[in-house]
């Protein structure tokens, strides 16, 4: 039986050739020529004042909060239904994450929930483009502007998506990208901070390298420059090896996203009349990057049993993402009922650019059968 993985990176000969060039250059470490070139490409693509290539999106979120001046005891409102990286970043700076519930139809943060949570210690909001679908930034920006709050866009899953004609990653004054292995553009691991403010980018770049400037730049100076540490920074640099891979991947975004969109469209056709699931909803004013394809199961369906059936037949699947407030690490008494419900009922089925239509059809067939087998009779 051929296995159909839930996720699969689209890496090949072009990426290998780019890595070989880095090997030949003699500079595989971070903040070298390929990293600088990647940052310039990202700044141009997103039309921002600065881009900082870093080791992962969590690092970008941490650097963003530091550069924005978040202090211990400040409150930052975070979207609840997501990988918990935003709340982790808030805790990294000894601030308090306040979890905002999400919309039932999109899984993105509910602007009204954000507005209701604003208090005297609130300094900002981290919105999340949930599994590739941008949040409601027009409403969020209006709320933030009224209260003098910053907005950070966690676009980890959304490279290539759009909102009101603008690309995810350029929907807030500060945005964070991920290039993890399951994303639409990947270097295995990696991330970037994008910002309208060049000074904020410069702050993040220094902090990403232990609090000193680029060693590569200083190596080009005649003489013996001695770096000066100006901040307590971190080792968040992205290697030139990863940067070279990403330069290729960024150039392939349209191609790879086109394949994911075709997969999503075929799933929608094949599963349109399936009463035991709700398909993803994409509002008219935005497009989806399809990092994941999540269906919401009817409350009467045993999700664990469905997942076991799929995996037994070689079809990868997962729970989707997390209701962050339920994770024991946060010890919060908050409730986010919509997020908690999605956490219980969502199921992620295979989604990547390497899927064939025959595989998509097999996934749909196996899913339909499993749903029928593991649905409780109405009234039971």
| Domain harbouring 120, CATH code | 3.40.640.10
Q: What letter does residue 326 receive in the DSSP assignment?
A: G
Instruction: Work out the average pLDDT over 273-293.
Output: 98
Q: Is the pLDDT of residue 49 over 90?
A: yes
Structural domains of the chain, count: 2
CA distance 291 to 289: 6
Residue 354 in any domain: the answer is yes
> What is the Cα–Cα distance from 216 to 227, expressed in whole angstroms?
11
Same domain, 265 and 194: no
Is 213 found in the same domain as 339? no
Same structural domain, 229 and 97: yes
- 331 Cβ contact partners less than 8 Å away, ≥ 6 residues apart: none
305-310 mean pLDDT: 98
Among 168, 133, 165, 186, residue whose Cα is nearest residue 8? 186
The residues, any chain, with a CB within 8 Å of residue 168's CB and separated by 6 or more, are: 129, 134, 153, 155, 158, 159, 160, 161, 162, 175, 289
Structural domain that includes position 301: 254-373
Q: Are residues 33 and 135 in the same domain?
A: yes
What's phi and psi for 254, nearest 5 deg?
-60, -45
Say whether pTM exceeds 0.75: yes
**Residue 1 domain-assigned?**
no
Least confident span in 127-131, 147-151, 216-220: 216-220
Query: Is residue 378 predicted with pLDDT exceeding 70?
Result: no
Residues 77 and 161 in one domain: yes
* pLDDT for 212: 93
Backbone phi, psi, residue 165, to 5°: 85, -5
Same domain, 72 and 137: yes
The last residue of a domain, from among 252, 282, 315:
252
298 in the same domain as 232? no
350 lies in a domain? yes
Domain presence at residue 380: no
Together in a domain, 258 and 228: no
Same domain, 223 and 180: yes
For the domain that residue 368 is a member of, what is the CATH number?
3.90.1150.10
Residue-level pLDDT at 274: 98
Instruction: Please check whether residue 379 lies inside any domain of the structure.
Output: no
pLDDT tens for 239-252 read 999 999 999 999 99
Helices (H), the chain: 13-25, 33-46, 57-67, 85-92, 111-117, 137-147, 198-207, 215-219, 240-251, 253-271, 303-312, 337-345, 357-373
Query: Same structural domain for residues 248 and 132?
Result: yes
Q: Please check whether residues 318 and 185 belong to one and the same domain.
A: no
pLDDT at 127 over 70: yes
User: Which of the listed residues 224, 252, 280 is the one where a domain comes to its end?
Assistant: 252
Instruction: Pick the last residue of a domain from 193, 227, 252.
Output: 252
Q: pLDDT tens-digit profile of 209-226?
A: 999 988 888 878 878 888
Say what the pLDDT of residue 219 is: 78
């Amino acid at each position: 039986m051929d296995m159909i993985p839930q996720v699969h990176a689209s890496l090949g000969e072009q990426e290998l050739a780019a890595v070989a060039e880095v090997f030949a250059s003699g500079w595989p470490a971070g903040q070298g020529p390929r990293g600088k070139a990647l940052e310039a490409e990202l700044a141009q693509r997103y039309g921002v004042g600065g881009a900082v290539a870093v080791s992962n999106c969590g690092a970008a979120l941490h650097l963003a909060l530091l550069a924005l001046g978040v202090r211990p005891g400040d409150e930052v409102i975070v979207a609840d239904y997501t990988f918990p990286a935003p709340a982790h970043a808030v805790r990294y700076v000894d601030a308090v994450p306040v979890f905002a519930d999400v919309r039932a139809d999109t899984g993105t943060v509910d602007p009204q929930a954000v507005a209701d949570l604003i208090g005297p210690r609130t300094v900002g909001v981290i919105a999340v483009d949930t599994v590739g679908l941008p949040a409601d930034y027009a409403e969020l920006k209006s709320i933030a502007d009224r209260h003098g709050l910053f907005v950070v866009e966690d676009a980890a899953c959304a490279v290539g998506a759009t909102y009101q004609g603008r690309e995810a990653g350029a929907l807030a004054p500060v945005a964070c990208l991920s290039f993890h292995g399951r994303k639409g553009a990947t270097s295995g691991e990696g991330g970037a901070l994008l910002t309208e403010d060049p000074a904020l980018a410069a702050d993040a770049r220094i902090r990403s390298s232990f609090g000193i400037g680029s060693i590569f730049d200083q190596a080009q100076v005649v003489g013996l420059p001695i770096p000066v540490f100006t901040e307590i920074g971190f080792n968040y640099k992205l290697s030139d090896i990863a940067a070279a891979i990403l330069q290729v991947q960024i150039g392939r975004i349209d191609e790879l996203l086109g394949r994911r969109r075709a997969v999503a469209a075929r799933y929608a056709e094949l599963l349109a009349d399936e009463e035991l699931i709700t398909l993803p909803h994409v509002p008219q004013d935005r497009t989806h990057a399809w990092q994941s394809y999540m269906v919401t199961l009817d409350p009467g369906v045993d999700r664990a049993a469905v997942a076991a059936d799929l995996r037994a037949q070689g079809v990868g699947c997962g729970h989707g993402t997390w209701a962050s407030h339920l994770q024991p690490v946060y010890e919060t008494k908050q409730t986010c009922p919509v997020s908690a419900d999605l956490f219980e009922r969502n199921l992620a089925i295979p989604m990547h650019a390497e899927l064939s239509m025959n595989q998509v059809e097999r996934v749909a067939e196996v899913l339909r059968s499993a749903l029928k087998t593991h649905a409780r009779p109405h009234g039971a």
